[in-house]
């Protein structure tokens, strides 16, 4: 599914105490497209270009899927590391009921890799130990024509 991103305005971000954590006021996520657009808002800002490196973003949500906090983990040109322990800690610190993780593929391909699936399983299992639900893992890419493409691992039935 392709969506044009240029018409989307970025939300204003307020920095939190952790420089890799951000708060998006009055934002909530109801569907994978919302996550993909919020993810690109965070990485592109207003009018920036698609990132040339992978980044992993964790959206920490309340019971109504309002964003409490957002954790950003920069990666390299072909990987984005996430540590389940840090995801759990930030979720607890935010008072989150659920989490959505998202990361980008600078190559433009949104097909999940075995590493993506393994990361999803590890994060899901870690969150379950403290009764926090992993809602989804979204893979996002910006195509050459500046359209946004994404894959939801839940919608694909991969977890």
Residue 157 lies in a domain: no
Segment 23-81, tens digit of pLDDT: 454 566 878 888 888 887 777 653 445 567 788 899 999 999 999 999 888 777 677 77
Give the per-residue pLDDT at 45.
Answer: 55
Q: How many CA atoms lie within 13 A of 73 on its CB side?
A: 16
Residue 123 has pLDDT above 80, yes or no: yes
Give the per-residue pLDDT at 100.
Answer: 94
CATH of the domain at 140: 3.40.140.10
Segment 126-149, tens digit of pLDDT: 999 999 999 999 999 887 777 788
Query: CA torsion, points 148, 62, 24, 80, in degrees to nearest 10?
Result: -50
Residue 158 lies in a domain: no
Residue with tokens 């990666």: 75
Domain that holds residue 99: 2-152
Number of structural domains the chain divides into: 1
Of the candidate ranges 68-72, 101-105, 119-123, 142-146, the one whose mean pLDDT is the lowest: 142-146
Give the per-residue pLDDT at 92.
Answer: 96
Residue 159 lies in a domain: no
Residue 135 lies in a domain: yes
């Amino acid at each position: 599914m392709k969506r044009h991103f240029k018409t989307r305005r970025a939300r204003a971000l307020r920095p939190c105490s952790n420089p890799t954590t951000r708060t998006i006021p009055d934002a909530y996520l109801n569907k994978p497209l919302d996550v993909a657009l919020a993810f690109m808002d965070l990485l592109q800002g207003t009018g920036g270009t698609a990132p040339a490196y992978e980044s992993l973003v964790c959206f920490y949500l309340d019971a109504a899927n309002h964003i409490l906090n957002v954790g950003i983990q920069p990666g390299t040109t072909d990987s984005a590391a996430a540590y389940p322990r840090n995801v759990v800690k930030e979720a607890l610190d935010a008072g989150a009921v659920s989490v959505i993780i998202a990361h980008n593929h600078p190559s433009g391909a949104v097909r999940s890799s075995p590493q993506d699936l393994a990361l999803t399983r590890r994060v899901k299992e870690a969150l379950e130990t403290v009764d926090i639900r992993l809602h989804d893992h979204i893979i996002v890419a910006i195509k050459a024509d500046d359209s946004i493409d994404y894959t939801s691992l839940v919608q694909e039935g991969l977890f």
